[in-house]
Structure 1
Amino acid sequence: MLLSLNATAQNEKETFPKITGFVAILHPLVTISANETITNFKDYYAVGMPIGINIWKSEKIGFSFEIVPTIKSDSQVSKVSNILIHPGVLVRLKKGFTFAGRIAFETSGRYGFTPVIAKVIKKYKDHNYYVSMPFPVRFGNNHETTATVGFQVGMGF
């Protein structure tokens, strides 16, 4: 009887809504504005640590809420430089890709939006590993508009 229950459970279709979570490491690579281009790893090192919850309404669409503390370290100091509040919409695409369209509110006073493309690279029964490319665009706080390219590696569960 136990074997037949396990076989049935493995063949069941996913039920929705479905709640998942994730943790990751984010490296901003390059930030561009009208007057300058800034690269991470040159004069300082910045790293973000996204933590989030996804609520999937269906197999194709969901809502995500993410918080990202960022640590910045240079030759003189290492500190939490920003906390990002990052809600958004998730859309599953073909071939295992997911698009996240997020709005952004930063404790630094900046705001904007972040389109993200993600792909699961290794999937297990109770977790997965993924990579993503976020493209943050930020405004406000008396600074020029900036666009950044980042690289993120994470684990979903």
Structure 2
Amino acid sequence: MLHLHATVKRTSNAGFTKSIACILLTVFLAFFFGQAHSLAQVPPVTYPKVAGYVGIIHPLVTFSKEGTTTNFNDHYVVGMPTGINIWKSARVGFTFEAVPFIRVENRTSRMSNFLFHPGILVALGNGFTFAGRAAFETSGRYGFTPVLSRAIIRNKNSSYFAALPVPVRFGNKHPTAITVGLQLGIAF
């Protein structure tokens, strides 16, 4: 009877995890592929242009030879990316990002990792931007992160965005890992 209870609990946790992941993915897709709205007249931009941003990132699923790991299952990881974008022109820029990560597991929380994340920006049009970032983590891992983002709402002094980061990591005696994440934030 005890074994059955543990199995049911694992199944309900897996169902809960899948439900949360589906909800997040649905919200992300609705924002990401929805039409960008302009709430105010945007004045002409002069270059170089400097913009700061802050957001929240949720790594959703990680794939490696060690197996597939999902966030929201046995643990919860969340990061707070904070960065500066320096646009050289309307098309190309430089980005610098710092991301502390918090991990909650077994009713305790801790800062589990800090990510230094410099890179380049390329405006793709229609509110989309590609960021190609180098990645250096205090966990001993390193790699790169391609990021596709889209401005969702633009105001006179800020914009809200959604992003799809796909971190690829190497090193520290672990196999190569690829993660898919969801990032939401505000740029100003």
- TM-score normalised by the chain length of structure 2: 0.77
Q: Give yes or no for the alignment of 1:100 onto 2:114.
A: no
| Higher share in strand | 1
Q: Is the 8 A contact 2:42 2:156 kept in 1?
A: no
Q: Deviations over 1:77-129 (max 9, x none)?
A: 20000000000000000221000000000000000000000000000000110
Q: Give yes or no for the alignment of 1:86 onto 2:117.
A: yes
Structure 2: any 5+ residue segments left out of the alignment? 1-40
Q: 2:103 aligns with which of 62, 66, 72?
A: 72
Q: 2:156 aligns with which of 125, 132, 146?
A: 125
Q: Deviations over 1:40-89 (max 9, x none)?
A: 00000000000000000000000000000000001242000000000000
Equivalent residue number for residue 58 of structure 1: 89
CA distance 1:106–1:13, shift in 2 (3 Å): same
Q: Give yes or no for the alignment of 1:146 onto 2:177.
A: yes
Equivalent residue number for residue 76 of structure 2: 45
Residue 12 (structure 1) shift: 5.6
**Cα distance in 2, alignment partners of residues 14 and 40 from structure 1:** 39
CA distance 1:39–1:12, shift in 2 (3 Å): closer
- Aligned to 2:126, the other structure's residue is in SS state helix
Aligned-pair Cα RMSD in Å = 1.2
CA distance 1:38–1:16, shift in 2 (3 Å): same
| Higher share in helix | 2
**Cα distance in 2, alignment partners of residues 73 and 12 from structure 1:** 43
1:8-27 matches, cutoff 5 A = 13-27=44-58
